Every structure is written in C-alpha cells, then in structure tokens.
Structure 1
Amino acid sequence: MSQTLELVDPKTLIVDANVRADADLTKEFVANVKANGVLQAITAYRDAEGALRVLYGQRRTLAAVEAGLTAMPVYVADSLEEADRIGTQVAENDQRRALTDHDRAEAFHQMALLGVSAAQIARKAGAEKGTVERAIKARKNDTATAALGAGRTLDQALVLAEFEDDAEATAELESVIADEPDQLDHLAQRLRNNRAIAARLAEAKAEAEAQGLTVVARIGYDASDEALPLRYLVDAEGSQPAEDAANAVALRLYQTDGEISREPGIVGWKELGYRYKSPYGEVRQSGPMTEEQKAERKTLIANNKAMDAAQAVRREWVRTLLARKSAPKGWQRFLAVAHTRHHNVIRDRSADLAAELAGVAKEKDYLSAALTEHVAAHPGRPEVALLALALAGLEENVDRQAWRRPGNGARFYLSQLAEWGYPLSDVERIITDDAKPSDQGEEDAAAEDEDAEPEDAA
C-alpha cells in the first residue's frame, strides 16, 4: 500500500463509522492534542470523489477537530476494499488501545454482512476463528448485543443470551457476573444441567399421565403421607395391592445422563380402602422431616448437582490446558507426585478419558490407540500424553459424592488445577479446604451411598 505524508485540515476529513462504539474523547486527551498537536500521523485514503476518508486515527481526528487544529499530519493511502478497511482497522486499534468485545463483535458483524467468511475475518483481524464465529453469533442476538453494549465480555453475553427466556436464571447469572465472574462457567453448567433434567422429566411426566398415572412429587413412607408405595399398604383382606393397582408415580433424575427413577404408589390410599402397614415391622418416624433434616437434604441435593456441573466445566478446562503450546508450570513434579503418592488412584486410569482430555479421542477406538498415535505424531511433546493419563486417573476419582468424603487424591488434583489457573467452584473448595486425610474405606463409602436420601427432580 503506497502512501504520502500531507498536512490536512482535520475538518475536511471524513470519519466513517468506526469499529469503536465510543471514541472516548476525554477532556485530558483533547487538551493534550490542543497543546501539542497530533504527534502521530493518521492514515486516510481518497475515495472515488477525491475526498479523504480516515482509515486509522478516528479518535485523533475527532480530537483535532474538537481542539480547533487547522492542520494535522495524514498519510494518504490508496483506496481499500471496505472489508480490508474494517479488518485492518481492528488490528490497528487493538495495537493502540484494546477494543471492547462490543467493538470487535460489531466489526466482525459488518465484515460478515459483506460476505467475508469467518476464516478470512480471523486472518484480516488477527483473531481466532472460533472467537470470530462466537462474536458474529452474539451480534445476531438482541440480548447478547445489548449485553456487549453494556460492557459485558463476549463469553458473558453469550451465556446471558442462552438463558434469555429464563428470568430467574438471568438474575443468577447477572449476580455472578457482578460479584464472582470466575464462577460464571460453573453456574452456567448447573443451569444447563437443570434445564436438561427438567426437559427429560417433562417427557417422562407426559408419558406417565398418558398411562393414566398421577405424577406426584414424592411417594412417602409414613402413615401421614398422601401417597405410599404398594409395599406399605394392605387391602381389607390384609393383602398387598398388585402392581397394576398403582395410580401414581414419583419421578426423579439424579444426573443428566442417568436413568429416570420411577417409583409407583397409590395416592388417596385411605379413600380407596387401604390400610398402612410397614413391611419391615419396625416403628418408623411419624410425621414430616424436621427443618434440620430438610436443610441437610437440600444441601445434599444442591452439592451433588453442583459437582455434576463442575465436572463438565473442569474437564473442558483441562482440555484447554493440554491444548496449549507449552506444558503447565511444574508439570514434572506433578507427574512425580501423582505416580508415587497417588499411584493407587491413577492406576486404573481410563485411556479413553485421557484421549478425550488430550483432544485426540477417536470414534470406535477399540484398542485405545489414540494417545499412542498422538505420541508418534508429536515426538517433541510426550508430556501431553503423560499428563492426560495422570489427569484422567485423578479425574475419574472425583465423583459427585467427593465433597462428602474428600480424599487425598481429589484434594491433590483440584489443588493442582487451581494452581494452574482453574477457578474452583464452591463445592470443589469444600474438597480442597478439607485438610483432614480421608481414611474412609470402600465399604463405608458404599454404605454412605446406600443411606443417601433420593434426590427430588430439579
């Protein structure tokens, strides 16, 4: 691009729509230009009518006009295609003063309207293709566009757009963005899980109602409960009602990828002539749960769901970690400790999960050869496979109940991720903040799972 240096009256320059939403003409900046002039030449080009249009330096040009300057240095360049003007302007502005996500999304949107592909925009603007695609997506959504205009980041705007039809979720998201922005991914994943669970339960409810069953929130176990399981009831002859006598069902879903639990029972059993009889013969607690029991149950359910969400966020973060050009700081010591102090945790590591974390998973990888092939293809980066295997072993050890019985392996794993920059969720901090070693045996752990109260639907 050829260009000549000229002194031009700033009032004669045409300032087109710029990628900056706000030129930010502070009093201090205008005063500086008035006192010292424009020290760095702007760049402009002549259009078909011979007028000079500003290519780089909108802010300096407007400040020069505001300051009353009659001349400023201008590099006059050849005409550029509109898409090149916007793309080059984005790169130039980012070097001078970082654009906001709103400015960048608007620029990418303009270029996309001109028919420029995301890959081409990425090359012209020096951005990642994925970022360009997400910015264009955000700009097409009114909620995301408004969020960007309000100063939200691209990630924050897209999450707000994702839940724009849910006022309660939006309020939660806004609160986290304002107070704990590093927890946004964790909250968003919990909301996604809740939405997925609600959708599956809605389908199951419709199916049950089509079968003539009443869907109830809970099948109880006490004589004061309106709905009871068949095994707690007898008819006038002292016989337990048959399975086809059930007229109600309670639906529960523990995890998004789990099976829906369907517990049949009879609602309105007294009116139907049944009597209560415990099948175990022991005296059960009479009446509803105490407030303390309700609080414990609520905490149990909330933390289990939080662990489900944290797993998705955590694994995605580990994939991003292993995709970096260089290994995380202190990775050698991490491997040494993992393979010595925590060898019993990582010995049953999953090669498939390791390949997934390394970003090299393949479909129908029956021999689990993906990592082996990655090592062969990248001989200079063996640490990726080694880290993936160790991390996979530790990751599999952090299940949804880990917060109830924090183990040394889980504590070591999450603490290391936090040291590498991973934002721990509140429920994960329960594990890392527990300094007591876990010596609970497998039998105790299994018994604890069996004794756990079933979760209600989300």
Structure 2
Amino acid sequence: MEEAAIFAEFEHDPEAVERLEYAKRFRRSLTHEAQQLRDEVAEREADAAEVERLRGEGLPVLTAEEVAAADEVLRIERLLNAEGEPVPEEEWPSVPGARVHVVKEWVYPEDEYDESEDDTDDEADDEADDYEPAEPYQQYVPVWVVTDLDASGLRRRGGVSGGASSGSTADEDAGESEEEAEARREERRRVIAYNKAWASAETVRREWLAGFVARKTAPEGAEALICEAVVTGHHSLSKAMDHRHPMLFTLLGIPAPTGYYGAGQDECRKITTKATTPKAATMTTLAAVVAAWEATTGKHSWRNPSAWDARVLGALVEWGYQPSEVECILLGEEPEPDADTEGEANADEASDSAA
C-alpha cells in the first residue's frame, strides 16, 4: 500500500518514477528515495524563488535552465582584463554580457565558536563542555559571471583566452596540480551530496522513530542497549538527562516546556507514570536512550561516525529500520557513487569551480 502511494505521488515525473523503480529493483528504501525527491523539489522551488527575488531587485540573474544550457559559467572575480589585471568589483556589472549566478555555499557554524571567549567560572565551563557544533547550512550567494568569455573581453588567469582550453586555473596558479584540484572538487561534491542525503534521511528516520517509541513493549535486545548506555554514562544520554529529554518529547509528540534545561522534572515524571508495567517501563527507558542518541546526530555524523552511532543504528536496523545509503556509513559501509545525487551536487558548484 505504501509503495503504491509513493509511486502515485510521483507519477507525473518520469525521472522520479525511474529513480523509484531503480531503488526498488536494487532493494533500496523507497521511503528514503521518495523523501530525497521531495526535498529536491522543495530545493528547486526555493532556488527559483531566490532567482525571482533578485530579478525583482533588477539584477540580471541566470535561471537554472540558462546555467545548464551555458557552455561555461565563469566567475568574473577569477578573470583578468586586457591589461592582465583583476577586474575591480565595482566594474563587474559593466562587463559585456555580465550576469548573476545564484550559488549556494555551505556555512559551518562551529567555525564561529571561539573558546577564548569562555568565562572562567564554573557555569561557563559547563556550557563549554556541553557545546556541540551547530548544523551546517547553505546560504544563497549572488556571483557575477560571464557565459561567453570572448564577448566579455576578459581572459583566464595564465594567459588563456576565451577560445582556448581552460586547463590553467586559479588553483593551479596557486601551485595546485590538476589531480589535486580535481580531488578537492570531488570531495566537495561528495560532501554536498551526502549532506543533502543526510537531511532527507533524518526526516524519514525521525518519522520511523516516532512510531517506534510509541510501542508498548521493547524489542529483543533492548535491555542490553539500555544497560550499556546507563552504565557507561554515554554523553548523549547524560546530556539528554541534564536537559530533561527534549528529543524524547519531540518523538512522542508532546510539547516540551521551554527553559535552559528544557522539560522539567514534573513533565518527565508524567511520561514515566504512563509506564505501568515492567515491559512498558523498559520501552520508555529504551525510548529515552534512543531519543538521546538521535538528538546528537546531524550532518557531522556521516563524516565522523562513532562506535556508539554504529551500536544504536545497528540496533534500530535489527528492530526493523531500513537505513539510507548515507546512514550506512555509520555502520561502516561506504555508499556506491550515485549519478543523480552527484548531478545535484555538480549543479550547486557549477560556477564555483570555474575559471
């Protein structure tokens, strides 16, 4: 029934249907594939809205279709004028054929954290110990570009003009070989693709967890996971207990009281009093352990998977969860390259690696 509903949702999109059929043929999760398709649609709509917004401000913005059709999209800031000098920023809009390409760049908030700003009192030390990097996010950046180098009157760095090969790049001028530059670009494409895949997987996983924590009895092996989390005092559980289990409230569909420590003891006690049997109490405790782990996951998880990530996710898989390919990295499995996700990543960096 669920499979039929997914195919019906995307029946208007032949490419989406093809991806779903591919996933089904190779026994990949249709639920994860469908969520990625939804997120991609939402992203394209957001991209188009940003283009229209900037056009409303009078900027000559390229549409996604125009970018795809262009032979080259070259950043003016990386090109030289006839005198061999960089074009002053204030002159970029005046370059013949100059357009604006809206690109997305990743921002990593953890880079903004400065330990030197911590106070020396106990409370500040506790806050520093409790610090976890915020999730990276993408922001739109309008970039002035040209799509016809000859018509612009500019040339690439290294003396290569419009009709010649683009083999000489700014990165190579900086001493980076072509192999090193391509490896860097490939890693960037991988990060973009996996970050997007993780965001989609998170939506699916939390929907599944919301159903899981509502179980009346715990699955086989729950006691061992609870024991390990409690006896070892794992950081994720300790943090959740300090903050009164905000993710548990979220998964249970209960509004979490606000405040520095999140939900209060009285609210947590209401959850425990509903567990009136030993089996129910075990399930509630398991839900707290799993929710605590979930609260500490994010796009950093696939880049730096831990043994506890593998332990918890492995248990969820045993209990019926079907992980996406990017989540399988936490289990020690590297995903196979995917032409569709890499294509999306290439689109994100279309002008960023040019010139």
Same fold per superposition (TM over 0.5): yes
The answer to whether the 8 A contact 1:252-1:456 is kept is no
Q: Structure 1, residues 337-377: CA drift from partner, whole Å, max 9, x if none?
A: 123446134333363222112x1421764442454432244
When normalised by structure 2's length, the TM-score is 0.63
Q: In the alignment, does 2:239 pair up with 1:356?
A: no
> How is 1:239-258 mapped onto 2 (pairs within 5 angstroms)?
240-242=88-90, 245=93, 247-252=99-104, 258=137
Quote the offset at 1:303 in angstroms: 2.9
Cα distance in 2, alignment partners of residues 430 and 308 from structure 1: 14
Partner of 1:202: 48
Partner of 1:161: 8
For the aligned residue pairs, the C-alpha RMSD in angstroms reads 4.0
Residues 356, 226 of structure 1: alpha-carbon distance in 2 compared, 3 angstrom cutoff: closer
Residues 258, 238 of structure 1: alpha-carbon distance in 2 compared, 3 angstrom cutoff: closer
Match 1:374 to one of 250, 268, 271: 271
When normalised by structure 1's length, the TM-score is 0.51
Cα distance in 1, alignment partners of residues 297 and 238 from structure 2: 15
> How is 1:55-454 mapped onto 2 (pairs within 5 angstroms)?
154-180=1-27, 183-210=29-56, 211-215=58-62, 226-228=73-75, 230=77, 240-242=88-90, 245=93, 247-252=99-104, 258-267=137-146, 271-272=151-152, 282-283=174-175, 290=182, 296-341=187-232, 343-349=234-240, 351-357=245-251, 359-362=252-255, 365-366=258-259, 367-369=262-264, 370-380=267-277, 381-433=280-332
Percent of residue pairs identical: 24
Residues 281, 287 of structure 1: alpha-carbon distance in 2 compared, 3 angstrom cutoff: closer
Letter matched to residue 102 of structure 2: A
Quote the offset at 1:411 in angstroms: 1.0
Quote the offset at 1:156 in angstroms: 0.9
Higher Cα Rg, which structure: 1
The answer to whether the 8 A contact 2:105-2:141 is kept is no
Q: What is the number of residues matched between the two proteins?
A: 277
5+ long unaligned stretches in structure 2: 65-70, 108-135, 158-169, 335-344, 350-355
Residues 285, 409 of structure 1: alpha-carbon distance in 2 compared, 3 angstrom cutoff: same
5+ long unaligned stretches in structure 1: 1-153, 218-223, 436-453
Quote the offset at 1:415 in angstroms: 0.8
Higher percent of residues as helix: 2
Residues 306, 280 of structure 1: alpha-carbon distance in 2 compared, 3 angstrom cutoff: closer
Residues 276, 284 of structure 1: alpha-carbon distance in 2 compared, 3 angstrom cutoff: farther
> Larger relative contact order (C-alpha < 8 A, sep ≥ 6)?
2
The answer to whether the 8 A contact 2:275-2:284 is kept is no
The answer to whether the 8 A contact 1:248-1:264 is kept is yes
Describe the SS at the equivalent of 1:248. Answer: strand
Residues 229, 354 of structure 1: alpha-carbon distance in 2 compared, 3 angstrom cutoff: farther
Cα distance in 2, alignment partners of residues 238 and 300 from structure 1: 30
Residues 336, 269 of structure 1: alpha-carbon distance in 2 compared, 3 angstrom cutoff: same
Cα distance in 2, alignment partners of residues 168 and 239 from structure 1: 42
Cα distance in 2, alignment partners of residues 283 and 188 from structure 1: 43
Describe the SS at the equivalent of 2:326. Answer: helix
The answer to whether the 8 A contact 1:233-1:240 is kept is no
Describe the SS at the equivalent of 1:426. Answer: coil
Residues 287, 273 of structure 1: alpha-carbon distance in 2 compared, 3 angstrom cutoff: farther
Letter matched to residue 185 of structure 1: T
Describe the SS at the equivalent of 2:144. Answer: strand
